[in-house]
């Protein structure tokens, strides 16, 4: 685990997020959402500050962070790619599309390319089943993606 230094202004903002929820420990998940919005991910330092503000053990915060797949302890790529692996997308070939992204970018699920440009993850149902299989890059949604289109999608961001 590499230690990073958080800017003082960001620390203040983080404490404001906690304060917005009255530093209540049963608001931990809402606070973690707020923190992840602020930093893009939840490094150890952020969890330590939250634990301190809420007067809970940092092990508890870490236990919660690692329970929920929405929370991440590593920064996502500049262009986070998510392949929907909901059943509708799965039966329409999402796995092959995901494999192709992994192959071209040479990363595993949850990893970021060394240049920090792309991260690949799978998610469960964005609810656009009519467009299956669905890929999202950032907030942009690509529907009915075929394996041939994978390279084209990546090219758009290079």
Partner 1 sequence: MSQIKLTIDNKTVQVAQGTSIVDAAKQIGVNIPTLCHMKLEHVGYENKPGGCRICVVELEGRKNLAPACKTICTEGMQVSTHTLRVINARRTVMELILSDHPAECLTCVKSGKCDLQTRAQELGIREIPYQGEQSKYKEDKSPAIIRDMDKCIMCRRCEMMCKQVQTVGCLSAINRGFESVVAPAFEMDLEKSTCTYCGQCVAVCPTGALSEIDNTRKVIAALVNPNKTVIVQTAPAVRAALGEEFGLEPGTLVTGKMVSALKKIGFDKVFDTDFAADLTIMEEGTELLNRLQKHLAGDKNVKLPILTSCCPGWVNFFETNYPDMLDVPSTAKSPQQMFGAIAKTYLAEQMKLKREDLVVVSVMPCLAKKYESQRKEFQVNGNPDVDLSITTRELSQMIKGANLNFNELHNEEFDNPMGESTGAGVIFANTGGVIEAAVRTAYELHTQKTLEKVDFHELRGFEGIRSATVDFDGFPLKIGIAHGLGHARQLLNEVKAGTSTFHAIEIMACPGGCIGGAGQPYHHGDTNILKQRAAAIYREDAGKAIRKSHQNPFIIKLYDEFLGEPCGEKAHKLLHTHYFDKKPKVK
Partner 2 sequence: MAKFKNHILVCAGTGCRASEGEEIVQELKTAVSQNQLENEVQVVRTGCFGFCEKGPIVKMIPDNTFYTQVKTADAKEIVEEHIIKGRQVQRLLYENPEDATRISDSKHMNFYKKQIRIALRNCGFINPENINEYVARDGYTALGKVITEMTPEDCIDIIKQSGLRGRGGGGFPTGLKWEITNKVESAEKYVVCNADEGDPGAFMDRSILEGDPHSVLEAMAICGYCIEASVGLIYIRAEYPLAIQRLKIAIEQARDLGVIGDNIFGTEFSFDVEIRYGAGAFVCGEETSLIQSMEGLRGEPTVKPPFPSVKGYMGKPTNVNNVETFANVPVIINKGAAWFASIGTEKSKGTKVFALAGKINNVGLIEVPMGTTLREVIFDIGGGIKDGRKFKSVQTGGPSGGCLTEKHLDVPIDYDNLLESGSMMGSGGMIVMDEDDCMVSVAKFYLDFTVEESCGKCAPCRIGNKRLYEILDKITKGKAQFEDLDNLRNLANVIKDTSLCGLGQTSPNPVLSTMDNFPEEYLAHVHQGKCPAKQCKALKEYVINAETCVGCTLCSRVCPVNAITGDKKQPHLINAQLCIKCGACFAKCKFGAISIQ
C-alpha dist (Å) from residue 116 to 31, 77, 80: 26, 5, 10
Assigned token pair, 112: 């970021």
**Is-contact 81 73, C-beta < 8 A?**
no
Show contacts with partner 2 in window 91-120 (CB under 8 A): 91-92, 96, 99-100, 103-104
* Per-residue binder mask for partner 2 (CB under 8 A), 33-72, x = binder: x-----------------------------xx--xxxxx-
For the bound state, the minimum distance from the C-beta of residue 15 to partner 2, rounded and expressed in Å, comes to 17
* Per-residue binder mask for partner 1 (CB under 8 A), 42-71, x = binder: --xx-xxx-xx---xxxxxxxx--xx----
**Is-contact 106 118, C-beta < 8 A?**
no
Binding footprint of partner 2, residue count (CB under 8 A): 46
User: Does residue 73 touch partner 2 according to CB under 8 A?
Assistant: no
**Is-contact 112 74, C-beta < 8 A?**
yes
Distance from C-alpha of 74 to C-alpha of 42, rounded to nearest angstrom: 7
Q: Between 38 and 141, name the residue whose CB sits nearer to partner 1.
A: 38
């Amino acid at each position: 685990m590499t230690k990073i230094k958080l800017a003082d202004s960001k620390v203040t903002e983080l404490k404001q997020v906690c304060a917005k929820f009255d530093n209540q420990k049963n608001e931990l998940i809402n606070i973690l959402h707020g923190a992840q919005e602020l930093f893009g991910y939840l490094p150890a330092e952020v969890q330590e500050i939250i634990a301190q503000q809420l007067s809970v053990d940092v092990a508890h915060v870490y236990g919660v962070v690692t329970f929920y797949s929405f929370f991440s302890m590593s920064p996502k790529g500049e262009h986070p790619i998510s392949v929907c692996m909901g059943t509708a997308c799965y039966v329409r070939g999402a796995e092959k599309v995901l494999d192709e992204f992994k192959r071209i970018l040479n990363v595993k699920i949850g990893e970021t390319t060394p240049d920090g440009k792309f991260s690949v993850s799978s998610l469960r149902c964005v609810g656009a089943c009519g467009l299956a299989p669905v890929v999202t890059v950032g907030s942009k949604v690509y529907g009915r993606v075929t394996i041939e289109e994978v390279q084209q999608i990546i090219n758009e961001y290079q």
